[in-house]
Amino acid sequence: MPTEKSIFNPNPAISRNAYISSFEEYTKFYKESLDNPAEFWSRVAKQFHWETPADPSKFMQYNFNISKGPISIKWMEGASTNICYNLLDRNVRNGLGDQIAYYWEGNHPDDYSRGLTYRKLLEEVCRFANVLKDHGIQKGDRVSIYMPMILELPIAMLACARIGAVHSIVFAGFSSDSLAERMFDCKAKLLITADGAWRGEKPLYLKALCDTALEKVEEMGHSVEKCIVVSHLKRVTPCQDNHVDQDIPWTDDRDYWWHEEMEDKEPACYPEWMDAEDPLFMLYTSGSTGKPKGVLHTTAGYLLYAATTFKIVFDYKPGDIYWCTADVGWITGHTYVVYGPLANGATSIIFEGTPFFPGNDRYWSVIDKYKVTQFYTAPTAIRALMKFGEAPVLKHNLTGLKVLGSVGEPINPEAWLWYYRYIGKEQCSIVDTFWQTETGGHVITPLPGATPMKPGSASFPFFGVKPTLLDECGIEIKGEGEGYLVFSQPWPGMMRTLYNNHERFEDTYFSKFPGYYCTGDGARRDADGYLWITGRVDDMLNVSGHLMSTAEVESVLTEHPRVAESAVVSRPHPVKGECLYCFITPNENETFDQKLIADLKKMVRERIGPFAMPDVIQNAPGLPKTRSGKIMRRVLRKIAVNDRNVGDTSTLADEQIVEQLFANRPVEA
Ligand code: 6R9
């Protein structure tokens, strides 16, 4: 039996046909990508259409050193193209018109299933681009999208890209407050949503949430003029139809049904030629100081990088069927459900449901049904499914699988081995892909035909990526060791700025270590040169792959009138990876009771979203603070796991408080 210490060589059958078929080949290309980035990426660019070709001397321009001037990152400046044209028209012209771009698999296995060819997708995108134009949307306008996993979602995104509008997708699990905050920040002109979505047994009424959010934005002083709504709940399946009894709230002259708008639209729309560095989309990610950051990606570099990482990391070949389970509302869905696969003319699956409905074998049954060859999911899902053992897996034929991906958080070796053995039958390569909303695509990852795998290690950098480990003083750690994971030069797909806030971009990512992009993650390099991501070094949490900051949760908790102060830390969780453990100091003369706990949980759920629900809320008559007033979170993390080894507490203003907090731990914790 293999153990977590073993090294797993790629299956020779995979290596034989892979784009990158040995570690030597990887090393050779990697070296080339760093020695001559312009030449390396201009070879990649050749497969795409450029309305204005790139000037080779302007292929990559950047400044990573804040002391030398503003941070700037530019790829192919002056070239022009349209990403939607490259994803759709180009593929149709190359003979892929009749190939399926997406299969849609609904929440319920009896839902009608749908397939969309590249030709049909292009037509639908053009029609919706014409809808947007008729509603006054122009190049550079921001369009917010709050949608379930339905085919209209990529259609809406690509229609924006076609006319040069900047999409800003908000994951449909976010609360109306979070949606309002994001629409306000980007001053969205239009919102695209659906009446609702199916989640297991029950419908979620998204339009009602949108209405609350639209009112809030109005109160904040900005008006989102239009809202386009897909009628989804009623169309899916007869067996669930009778559950849809709620009327969809409606405001005339602001709200429009998608199908009515599409009716008379032309299935053709001339693409807007965009400069390589024109914005493509923005996507909010949590910041360690509370307010979410609008990460901005641009056109040409993102296209090159999404396309290349998808092709090489999943070793996608014509005829393969690829499935990424991530919601399009996260970066993984942007790059690896939409842009990367379509740039390669791939066939993929969009799945609305959950891994547990109607049974715990749903993922395996979908893999079997479509004969999936590449499957990409998150460690939290793997851990949740492992609990049901092998029986649900054995009901299905998974032998078509070739590459298994993991993303979102470190994968523990136990989950890795289960994935490898029971899903991959020891025949598949596992790609543990480390990356971020900010990086646009995979930056540290094994390649399926080339990299000997170590369970739990994201292994080696992708082409063009130059990782460095730094100690606290900014000194490079060469060879074995652990430190801050930073990058010393740009790759095409990295973010360019934070929307409307370049200063925060420079502060957050480039000020700690001048000359480097700072990921905010720690990493260790072992004796063989493998990189192991050790997790966030800032006050961020990763709950089931959802990144959030302790500050944003604390700010919700302290809004409660009975709460004086709060501190949130992360605690390891067997399935979610991490969970929230909250310390609450009630106001003078207030008591801490079950009602307060229930109120606080409800607030977090409503304000941020269900995925941010705290697991534990503990009474804290005081918090462990240093004399300068900084909360010592490492002490709270120890209390959360009931580990008395708290280390040095001599700098605390009141050392007694630590003992008191241990005594106050709730029984269920
Ligand atoms: C793609 C995505 C980014 C943060 C990142 C890191 C964690 C993601 C990981 C991983 C270890 C992996 N992370 N993949 N940690 N191994 N393979 O998840 O983007 O939502 O922005 O989160 O997720 O901490 O900094 P995003």
How far is ligand 1, taken at its centre, from the CA of residue 333, in Å? Answer: 13
Which ligand 1 atom lies nearest to the CA of residue 437? 21
| CA angle (417, 421, 424) in 5-degree steps | 115
Distance CA 555, CA 340 (A): 36
How far is ligand 1, taken at its centre, from the CA of residue 288, in Å? Answer: 15
How far is ligand 1, taken at its centre, from the CA of residue 519, in Å? Answer: 10
Check residue 95 and report its DSSP letter. I
How far is ligand 1, taken at its centre, from the CA of residue 443, in Å? Answer: 10
**Residue to probe by mutation, ligand 1, list 337, 462, 521, 570, most atoms within 8 Å of CB:** 521
Q: Scan for tokens 């900047």, then name that residue.
A: 166
Which ligand 1 atom lies nearest to the CA of residue 533? 11
Tokens of 78: 């002056």
How far is ligand 1, taken at its centre, from the CA of residue 434, in Å? Answer: 6
Which ligand 1 atom lies nearest to the CA of residue 540? 24
Tokens of 501: 């806030």
Which ligand 1 atom lies nearest to the CA of residue 406? 17
Which ligand 1 atom lies nearest to the CA of residue 520? 25
Distance CA 23, CA 452 (A): 8
Distance CA 151, CA 149 (A): 7
- Among candidate residues 105, 88, 85, 109, the one with its CA nearest the CA of residue 97: 88
**Residue to probe by mutation, ligand 1, list 310, 435, 444, 508, most atoms within 8 Å of CB:** 435
Secondary structure of 110-176 in HEC code, one letter for each residue: CCCCEEEEHHHHHHHHHHHHHHHHHCCCCCCCEEEEECCCCCHHHHHHHHHHHHCCEEEECCCCCCH
- According to DSSP, the residues that pair with 303 across neighbouring strands are none
How far is ligand 1, taken at its centre, from the CA of residue 559, in Å? Answer: 29
**Residue to probe by mutation, ligand 1, list 436, 454, 536, most atoms within 8 Å of CB:** 436
Using CA atoms in the order 416, 417, 421, 423, what is the torsion angle rounded to 10 degrees? -20
Which ligand 1 atom lies nearest to the CA of residue 536? 24
What's the pTM?
0.91
- Confidence at residue 156, expressed as pLDDT on a 0 to 100 scale: 98
The two beta strands, 546-549 and 540-543, are antiparallel
How far is ligand 1, taken at its centre, from the CA of residue 378, in Å? Answer: 10
How far is ligand 1, taken at its centre, from the CA of residue 548, in Å? Answer: 11
Quick check: 166 and 145 in contact, CB under 8 A? no
- Measured from the Cβ of residue 533, the count of other Cβ atoms closer than 10 Å reads 20
Ligand 1 pocket at CB < 6 A: 285, 330-332, 407-410, 432-437, 458, 519-521, 533, 536, 542, 547
Residue type, 403: V
How far is ligand 1, taken at its centre, from the CA of residue 410, in Å? Answer: 8
For the chain (669 residues), the mean pLDDT of every run of 10, in chain order, is: 81 98 98 97 97 95 97 98 98 98 94 91 98 98 98 98 98 94 97 94 93 98 98 70 70 97 98 98 82 94 98 98 97 98 98 95 98 96 91 98 95 93 97 98 98 97 98 92 95 98 97 96 94 85 86 87 91 94 92 95 93 95 80 91 88 88 91
Beta strands in 559-622 (DSSP E): 563-573, 577-586, 616-619
Residues 6+ apart with CB under 8 A from 520: 288, 536, 537, 538, 540
Distance CA 598, CA 575 (A): 23
- Confidence at residue 124, expressed as pLDDT on a 0 to 100 scale: 98
Quick check: 459 and 7 in contact, CB under 8 A? no
Residues 6+ apart with CB under 8 A from 93: none
Q: Scan for tokens 């809320």, then name that residue.
A: 617
- Among candidate residues 446, 444, 466, 443, the one with its CA nearest the CA of residue 455: 446
- Confidence at residue 392, expressed as pLDDT on a 0 to 100 scale: 97
- Measured from the Cβ of residue 198, the count of other Cβ atoms closer than 10 Å reads 26
How far is ligand 1, taken at its centre, from the CA of residue 531, in Å? Answer: 14
ipTM of the complex: 1.00
Nearest CA to ligand 1 atom 26: 436
| CB-based burial, 308-338: b 16+ in 10 Å, e otherwise | bbbbbbbbbeeebbbbbbbbbbbbbbbbbbb
Residue type, 101: A
The two beta strands, 293-298 and 274-275, are unpaired
Residue type, 11: N
Tokens of 297: 């990606």
- Measured from the Cβ of residue 48, the count of other Cβ atoms closer than 10 Å reads 18
Which ligand 1 atom lies nearest to the CA of residue 535? 24
How far is ligand 1, taken at its centre, from the CA of residue 633, in Å? Answer: 22
Residues 6+ apart with CB under 8 A from 438: 285, 295, 494, 495, 509, 519
Instruction: Output the furthest CA–CA distance in the chain (Å, rounded).
Output: 74
Nearest CA to ligand 1 atom 19: 436
The answer to whether the Cα torsion of 213, 194, 126, 326 is positive or negative is: positive
**Residue to probe by mutation, ligand 1, list 407, 495, 508, 570, most atoms within 8 Å of CB:** 407
- Among candidate residues 301, 304, 324, 326, the one with its CA nearest the CA of residue 314: 324
How far is ligand 1, taken at its centre, from the CA of residue 634, in Å? Answer: 22
Check residue 601 and report its DSSP letter. H
**Residue to probe by mutation, ligand 1, list 457, 494, 534, 542, most atoms within 8 Å of CB:** 542
Nearest CA to ligand 1 atom 5: 436
Distance CA 578, CA 76 (A): 40
Nearest CA to ligand 1 atom 12: 434
Helix (H, G, I), strand (E, B) or coil at 295: strand
How far is ligand 1, taken at its centre, from the CA of residue 110, in Å? Answer: 34
Tokens of 411: 């994968």
Check residue 665 and report its DSSP letter. -
Nearest CA to ligand 1 atom 1: 436
Q: Scan for tokens 């399009």, then name that residue.
A: 328
Residues 6+ apart with CB under 8 A from 312: 19, 20, 447, 462, 463
Number of H helices, E strands in the chain: 23, 30
Which ligand 1 atom lies nearest to the CA of residue 411? 16
The two beta strands, 347-351 and 321-324, are parallel
How far is ligand 1, taken at its centre, from the CA of residue 465, in Å? Answer: 16
The two beta strands, 577-586 and 563-573, are antiparallel
- Confidence at residue 669, expressed as pLDDT on a 0 to 100 scale: 80
How far is ligand 1, taken at its centre, from the CA of residue 151, in Å? Answer: 26
